[in-house]
């Protein structure tokens, strides 16, 4: 079985979690680490690579629609809204890259 590329996994997650479909860049625009708390209470370090996605449309339904509240933001408002400082910085400094990058 062929393993999914990181950028393809990013696009799949965007579809599953927010119902968005579009063109994903092949190179990350940034990365950060955070401590994720597991159900058992333990913490594990996670490294996140952020890929650009040019959204073409949002589906009417998607796998996690009932678990998520979707809200559209300007990039400045999104940077202010996220809790992770490193992700906020990635959003603030993002410049549109060609989808083939």
pLDDT at residue 5 tops 50: yes
pLDDT at residue 100 tops 90: no
Q: Whole-prediction pTM value?
A: 0.83
pLDDT digits (tens, 9 = 90+) for 40-77: 999 999 999 999 999 999 999 999 999 999 899 998 99
pLDDT at residue 101 tops 50: no
More confident residue, 2 or 60: 60
| Domains by residue range for the chain, with CATH | 6-93 (3.90.79.10)
User: What integer best gives the mean pLDDT of the chain?
Assistant: 91
SS (H, E, C) 37-84: ECCCCCEEEEEEEECCEEEEEECCCCCCHHHCCCCCCCHHHHHHHCCC
Cα(99)–Cα(83) distance, rounded to whole angstroms? 27
What pLDDT does 2 receive?
72
């Amino acid at each position: 079985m062929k393993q999914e590329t990181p950028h393809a996994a990013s696009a799949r997650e965007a579809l599953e979690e927010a119902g968005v479909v579009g063109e994903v860049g092949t190179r990350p625009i940034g990365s950060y680490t955070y401590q994720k708390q597991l159900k058992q209470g333990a913490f594990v370090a996670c490294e996140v690579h952020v890929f650009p996605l040019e959204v073409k449309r949002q589906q009417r339904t998607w796998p996690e629609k009932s678990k998520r509240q979707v809200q559209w933001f300007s990039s400045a408002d999104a940077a202010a809204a996220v809790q992770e400082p490193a992700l906020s910085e990635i959003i603030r400094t993002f410049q549109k890259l060609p989808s083939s990058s």
